[in-house]
Every structure is written in C-alpha cells, then in structure tokens.
Amino acid sequence: MAISHSEHLLLIDTPEGQKNMAYQLWQPVDNAPERVVVCVHGLTRNGHDFDFLAPELASDAIVICPDVLGRGNSERMQDAAVYGYPLYLQQMIQLLAFIKSEYSPAQLDWVGTSMGGLIGMMLAATPAEQLPLTIHRLVLNDVGYFIPFASLQRIGAYVGKQQRFNSLPEVEVYLRDIAKPFGPLTDEQWRHLALYGSEPSGGQLTLRYDTAIAQAFNDVHADIDLSPVWSLVQQPVLLTRGKDSDLLLAETAQLMAQQNNVTLIEFAGVGHAPMFMAADQIDAVKQFLR
C-alpha cells in the first residue's frame, strides 16, 4: 500500500504567544482511515524517531508525530521556566482539537516514549469532557507511574550540556555512546538518529533540542510517584519495557501489569528506551493497536 509522508506546522498558543509546532504526517494514499495514531517522543528526541514505526501503522491509520516545543523543528521558548508538563499538555490538547476538526476520527490512539508516554498517561487520566478527543488505546514505552530519582540524575547529567560537533559521523559516535541503552540498532538506524537529531549551528552541528529544557530537573530532588494519575487510566494499555531499563523498574512494570487493562512486553538487550525500530518492537505495537 502506498503511504504518503509530509511535514507540517501547527500554530500553538503558549504563555509566550503563538509558536510553531512541527509534526510528521503519515497516511495511506488511496483511502481516508477513521483512526488517528499520535506518536510522541522522549525528552530530547523528536518526531522522526517514529520514521520506522509510523509507515507500518499508516496502512490503516493517519499517523501524526509531533515535535514537542523546544525539540526538533518546533519553536523554542524564550523563558526556560515555561518548559514542563503544563505546557506540553496544553500543546497536545490543541493538537487534539486540530485532529478533531481536520479528520473527525472515530478512534484516537496514543504511542508515547518516556516523556511522550507520561503526556499520554496524563491525557488518558483527564475527564473526557475536558478534552477535544479521548484516547482509546495507549502505548506507554518504557515509562510508568514511578520514576526513580537515580534515573533522572543520569538523564539530567547530559541533557543541559551544549554539545558541538564538526561532522555528522561525530554526532553518531556521541549518540552511540550516550544512547547505548536504545539497544542494538543497525548502522542505518544510528545514522538516522544522528541526521534528525542534530542541526547546523555556527559552522558546526548541535543536538536538535533546546538545552534549557534541563532546567526542569533543578526542581526534582526525589523519586516521582504519579500513582494518583495512573489510577485514573482505564483504557487498554500496552506497556513496553527494555529489560535493562533504569527508568521503568521491573517491579513497577510488574505491578502495573497486574491490572486487567495492561499488557506488558519486555525487550531483551535494551535499556531506556526501546526505539520501535526493530521488527519485533514494531510488531508488538501494530498488533496491540489493531
């Protein structure tokens, strides 16, 4: 089946006025599906992380992969203090309103990696009358209601540092090291992450996100427990976990999987987080959403 792919901008109202949010759009050429899947990336990543998963899902769905503000091709915020989940939730609620007006889907599904999963969890826990569209099925990729402080310290240690590179291969070498927990990706996949995870800056390359997003880590000094939010999630949930993950602990995943609405799948040789680029990871998501 022929799949079309394009990038678009959507104006989002923020505390600093309107900002452009970029998103990747994948859809079948010959029919108009009644289902929309929104795929949202992790903390420092962008919508191109789903370039391997999205075309597989787009055979029978419209797939939208946004860049959260401050990442990818979306605009940056001037005040670093604005970065945080209140901003991201409002951004995604506006995206849902756009999806409703543009596509009027019969069903909306959500795939979220790490930060994107937390946004999805919060939206899934929000009363339906407060949302333009409600989530039907939710994929939480390597994130749960409990986040250990040690994992946040590990991430915070590199997020706020401005890295500069002289070439794309240098970016790839850096990512292969810092993102080793992503698992055994192919050379093509590492090149893909380097290409879309970097941007020109002053004759060199930098990573394609605003390092000011790290300021949010300054206010975190302990484990994060979102069990009150999680308790409100009633939708069918696919919980995917890298077996070596330090962010979604095995005991947290097992407790979550005790609920009747949760299916847990773990991937060996992977930490935080599975990238949904390997065939077995893609198949797990496809089977759950279909």
Taking the C-alpha atoms of residue 141 and residue 229, their distance in angstroms, rounded to an integer, is: 17
What integer pLDDT is reported at residue 23 of this predicted model? 98
Percentage, residues of the chain above pLDDT 90:
91
The vertex-211 CA angle with 198 and 176, nearest 5°, equals 45
Nearest CA-CA partner of 240 in 267, 261, 260? 267
Handedness of CA 73, 79, 85, 89 (dihedral sign): negative
Residue 173: HSE in the Cβ half-sphere, 13 Å Cα cutoff: 8
Rounded to whole angstroms, the Cα distance separating 127 from 124 reads 8
The answer to whether residues 83 and 29 touch, using CB atoms and an 8 Å cutoff, is no
Decide if domain 3-149+227-289 falls under CATH 3.40.50.1820.
yes
Average pLDDT for residues 261-273, to the nearest whole number? 97
Say how far apart CA 180 and CA 121 lie, in whole Å. Answer: 26
Q: Where are the domains of the chain?
A: 3-149+227-289
Average pLDDT (63-72) is 98
Q: Among 16-30, 154-168, 220-234, 241-255, whose mean pLDDT is lowest?
A: 154-168
Task: Work out the average pLDDT over 90-99.
Answer: 98
Q: For residue 245, what pLDDT is reported? A: 97
Q: Is 275 left (phi over 0), alpha (psi -120 to 50) or beta?
A: alpha
Helix (H, G, I), strand (E, B) or coil at 27: strand
Region for residue 193 given its phi and psi (left: phi exceeds 0; alpha: psi -120 to 50; beta: otherwise): alpha
pTM for the model stands at 0.97
